[in-house]
């Protein structure tokens, strides 16, 4: 029996290298596949849309907030992968009655790299994990060089409508905004605050409307523009800002293109 710790410093034990994995976090499901572990995944959420074939080849056990415990139990998982932000505490307690649970807790890129390293140890794939970590570090370094002369701009990052909600501080989105040399005007508020858009006095240079969790579209730009007539409003790929893990390999190139759009303002 081998002892491991997750990112909440909780201890759990495994009798063997896990061969049957239930993943309840979309970005972590994608990470598992990019680490070569797709064949070991037996259960996923309905939001685990990457890579595309998964929804038709794996058992869907629910969403990130509610799951069917009987379905998960029937899959006889060796381990269940969760996240502090995505999965509720009472859910974790129920899942621990089925199998060992690993919980991630991601605020920074370093946290993401730590998670990849943990998966390398848990699933006995250290070489694959190290290769991915090196690739992400290289992409990050190249992006930092690219952004070294870019001017700082202010931004508001919208994640929801009715009620209007934005990304504040203490989350991965805000961390990536900082990496993009963007000053989040709501960084003085914690997590994902609800705002009264009609009473907002802050006028950021840029407003990002994210593709998730609320699917902002072109039709919403005009609506938001009425409240921020002097701001440049941009639809952004929410997965690039909130899917940690292997998505970071693609994210930095996406951010380069986004910086050019922002610069035009």
Distance between CA atoms of residues 206 and 260, nearest Å: 13
CB-based contact 182:206 (threshold 8 Å): yes
CB-based contact 163:170 (threshold 8 Å): no
User: Kind and range of the H or E element at 5?
Assistant: strand 2-5
Structure tokens at 193: 């605050």
Query: What is the predicted pLDDT for the residue at 164?
Result: 96
Which residue ranges does the chain devote to CATH 3.40.50.1980?
Answer: 2-105, 148-263
| pLDDT tens digits for range 75-113 | 999 999 999 998 888 899 999 999 999 999 999 999 999
Cross-strand partners of 101: 80
Whether the bond between 263 and the residue before it is cis, its omega within 30 degrees of 0, is: no
Structure tokens at 64: 């990130």
Cross-strand partners of 187: none
CATH of domain 148-263: 3.40.50.1980
Query: What is the predicted pLDDT for the residue at 171?
Result: 96
The answer to pTM > 0.85 is: yes
Q: Is the pLDDT of residue 251 over 60?
A: yes
Class of domain 2-105: alpha beta
């Amino acid at each position: 029996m081998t002892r491991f710790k997750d990112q909440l410093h909780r201890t759990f034990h495994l009798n063997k290298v896990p061969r049957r994995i239930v993943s309840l976090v979309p970005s972590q499901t994608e990470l598992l596949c990019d680490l070569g572990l797709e064949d070991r995944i037996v259960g996923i959420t309905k939001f685990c849309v990457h890579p595309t074939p998964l929804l038709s080849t794996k058992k869907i056990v629910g969403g990130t907030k509610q799951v069917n415990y009987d379905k998960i139990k029937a899959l006889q998982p060796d381990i269940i992968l969760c996240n502090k932000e995505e999965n509720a505490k009472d859910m974790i307690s129920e899942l621990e009655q089925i199998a060992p649970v690993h919980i991630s807790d991601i605020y920074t890129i370093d946290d993401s790299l730590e998670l990849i390293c943990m998966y390398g140890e848990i699933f006995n794939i250290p070489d694959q994990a190290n290769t991915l970590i090196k690739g992400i570090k290289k992409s990050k370094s190249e992006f930092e060089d690219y952004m070294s002369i870019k001017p700082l701009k202010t931004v508001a990052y919208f994640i929801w409508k009715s009620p209007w909600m934005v990304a504040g501080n203490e989350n991965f989105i805000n961390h990536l905004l900082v990496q993009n040399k963007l000053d989040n005007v709501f960084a003085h508020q914690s997590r994902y605050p609800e705002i009264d858009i009609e009473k907002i006095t802050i006028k950021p240079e840029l407003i990002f409307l994210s593709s998730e969790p609320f699917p902002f579209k072109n039709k919403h730009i005009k609506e938001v523009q009425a409240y921020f007539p002097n701001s440049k409003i941009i639809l952004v790929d929410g997965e690039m800002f909130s899917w940690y893990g292997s998505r970071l390999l693609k994210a930095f190139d996406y951010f380069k293109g986004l910086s050019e759009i922002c610069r035009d303002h």
